[in-house]
Amino acid sequence: MSSEVKFKEEHQDDCVKVYISGEIDIYTSQTFKEKLYSIIDSFKKDLKVDCTDLNYIDSTGLGIFVGALKKARQYDKKILVINPKANIKKLFTITGLDKLFIIE
Protein backbone atom coordinates (compact mmCIF):
# COMPACT_ATOMS: atom_id res chain seq x y z
CA MET A 1 0.00 0.00 0.00
CA SER A 2 1.25 3.47 -0.73
CA SER A 3 1.91 6.40 1.52
CA GLU A 4 -0.29 9.43 1.37
CA VAL A 5 0.30 12.52 -0.70
CA LYS A 6 0.49 15.90 1.02
CA PHE A 7 0.11 19.41 -0.38
CA LYS A 8 1.09 22.86 0.70
CA GLU A 9 0.02 25.94 -1.27
CA GLU A 10 1.91 29.20 -1.47
CA HIS A 11 0.25 32.08 -3.29
CA GLN A 12 2.55 34.45 -5.13
CA ASP A 13 1.69 37.46 -7.28
CA ASP A 14 2.12 35.71 -10.62
CA CYS A 15 1.53 32.05 -9.72
CA VAL A 16 0.49 29.46 -7.19
CA LYS A 17 3.30 27.26 -5.92
CA VAL A 18 2.29 23.80 -4.72
CA TYR A 19 4.64 21.64 -2.68
CA ILE A 20 3.93 17.92 -3.06
CA SER A 21 5.31 15.23 -0.79
CA GLY A 22 4.77 11.50 -0.64
CA GLU A 23 3.73 9.28 -3.52
CA ILE A 24 1.27 9.72 -6.37
CA ASP A 25 -0.18 6.41 -7.50
CA ILE A 26 -3.52 4.75 -8.07
CA TYR A 27 -4.39 5.15 -4.38
CA THR A 28 -3.56 8.85 -4.04
CA SER A 29 -4.18 10.09 -7.58
CA GLN A 30 -7.78 11.22 -7.04
CA THR A 31 -6.73 13.55 -4.22
CA PHE A 32 -3.89 14.87 -6.40
CA LYS A 33 -6.24 15.47 -9.32
CA GLU A 34 -8.88 17.26 -7.25
CA LYS A 35 -6.30 19.52 -5.65
CA LEU A 36 -4.53 20.51 -8.89
CA TYR A 37 -7.73 21.07 -10.85
CA SER A 38 -9.24 23.11 -8.02
CA ILE A 39 -6.19 25.39 -7.83
CA ILE A 40 -6.15 25.92 -11.60
CA ASP A 41 -9.86 26.72 -11.80
CA SER A 42 -9.91 28.89 -8.67
CA PHE A 43 -6.87 31.09 -9.27
CA LYS A 44 -6.26 30.96 -13.05
CA LYS A 45 -2.53 31.55 -12.57
CA ASP A 46 0.59 29.70 -13.62
CA LEU A 47 1.21 26.70 -11.42
CA LYS A 48 4.62 25.77 -10.03
CA VAL A 49 4.67 22.22 -8.70
CA ASP A 50 7.61 21.69 -6.36
CA CYS A 51 8.48 17.99 -6.40
CA THR A 52 11.42 18.11 -3.97
CA ASP A 53 9.66 15.76 -1.54
CA LEU A 54 7.78 13.70 -4.13
CA ASN A 55 9.24 10.20 -3.93
CA TYR A 56 7.23 8.35 -6.56
CA ILE A 57 4.74 8.93 -9.35
CA ASP A 58 3.14 6.34 -11.61
CA SER A 59 1.42 6.59 -14.98
CA THR A 60 -1.85 7.60 -13.32
CA GLY A 61 -0.12 10.60 -11.77
CA LEU A 62 1.56 11.53 -15.04
CA GLY A 63 -1.84 11.42 -16.74
CA ILE A 64 -3.19 13.82 -14.15
CA PHE A 65 -0.31 16.21 -14.86
CA VAL A 66 -1.28 16.12 -18.56
CA GLY A 67 -4.96 16.75 -17.75
CA ALA A 68 -4.00 19.62 -15.46
CA LEU A 69 -1.86 21.14 -18.22
CA LYS A 70 -4.79 21.01 -20.65
CA LYS A 71 -6.95 22.74 -18.04
CA ALA A 72 -4.26 25.39 -17.37
CA ARG A 73 -3.91 26.07 -21.10
CA GLN A 74 -7.64 26.90 -21.24
CA TYR A 75 -6.69 29.95 -19.17
CA ASP A 76 -3.50 30.52 -21.19
CA LYS A 77 -1.39 29.44 -18.21
CA LYS A 78 1.47 26.99 -17.80
CA ILE A 79 2.66 24.40 -15.31
CA LEU A 80 6.26 24.25 -14.16
CA VAL A 81 7.67 21.14 -12.51
CA ILE A 82 10.36 22.21 -10.05
CA ASN A 83 13.07 20.13 -8.35
CA PRO A 84 12.01 16.64 -9.44
CA LYS A 85 14.17 13.81 -8.14
CA ALA A 86 16.20 11.95 -10.77
CA ASN A 87 13.74 9.04 -11.00
CA ILE A 88 10.79 11.39 -11.57
CA LYS A 89 12.63 13.58 -14.07
CA LYS A 90 13.55 10.39 -15.95
CA LEU A 91 9.86 9.44 -16.23
CA PHE A 92 9.05 12.84 -17.73
CA THR A 93 11.91 12.40 -20.21
CA ILE A 94 11.08 8.79 -21.17
CA THR A 95 7.42 9.66 -21.79
CA GLY A 96 8.26 12.85 -23.71
CA LEU A 97 6.44 15.00 -21.14
CA ASP A 98 9.62 17.02 -20.69
CA LYS A 99 8.67 18.61 -24.03
CA LEU A 100 5.26 19.74 -22.69
CA PHE A 101 6.20 20.88 -19.20
CA ILE A 102 8.81 23.36 -18.09
CA ILE A 103 11.10 21.37 -15.80
CA GLU A 104 13.47 23.29 -13.54
At residue 34, does pLDDT exceed 60?
yes
Cα–Cα distance for residue pair 51/81, rounded to 1 Å: 7
Q: Look at residue 1 in the predicted model and tell me its pLDDT.
A: 45
Mean pLDDT rounded to a whole number for the chain: 95
Q: Look at residue 83 in the predicted model and tell me its pLDDT.
A: 98
**pLDDT, tens digit, for every residue of 61-93?**
999 999 999 999 999 999 999 999 999 999 999
At residue 14, does pLDDT exceed 70?
yes
pTM more than 0.85: yes
Residues 6 or more apart whose CB falls under 8 angstroms from that of 55 comprise 3, 21, 22, 23, 85
pLDDT class of 4 with cuts at 50, 70, 90? confident
Cα–Cα distance for residue pair 101/82, rounded to 1 Å: 10
